Amino acid sequence: EVQLQASGGGLVQAGGSLRLSCAASGFTFDDSAIGWFRQAPGKEREGVSCISSSDGSTYYADSVKGRFTISSDNAKNTVYLQMNSLKPEDTAVYYCAADRHASYDGSSLLCYDMDYWGKGTQVTVSS
């Protein structure tokens, strides 16, 4: 059974930092992609960041570029999202998700149409 366990959410003031962790089990990382999505109240879910397990390619939404950093520890089957300079508009439920086979548009990693989803973790940024 595939499981994606997200942790690390919480309440932080604007300008602060949080690190999310996603521990994956039940599938091999070989050529997969794992990433983070978020959904704020009344808004559609959006892809925040993804990383390929095979070559380390990354994707970032424009809204988080320069502030968020995704990384992975394949030995631990864990993906991290370091979130710095947080803004109130980053407030959302963050979900970890995995794609069994990473997809690319040319050389650019795609971050959508995931196969597995974990339960979300709430991130709240106060102004």
Q: For residue range 9-24, what is the model confidence (pLDDT) as tens digits?
A: 999 999 999 999 999 9
Q: For residue range 59-85, what is the model confidence (pLDDT) as tens digits?
A: 999 999 999 999 999 888 899 999 999
Q: What is the C-alpha separation between 121 and 6, in angstroms, rounded? A: 6
CA distances from 27 to 23, 57, 99 (A): 11, 20, 10
Q: For residue range 18-58, what is the model confidence (pLDDT) as tens digits?
A: 999 999 998 776 789 999 999 999 999 999 999 998 889 99
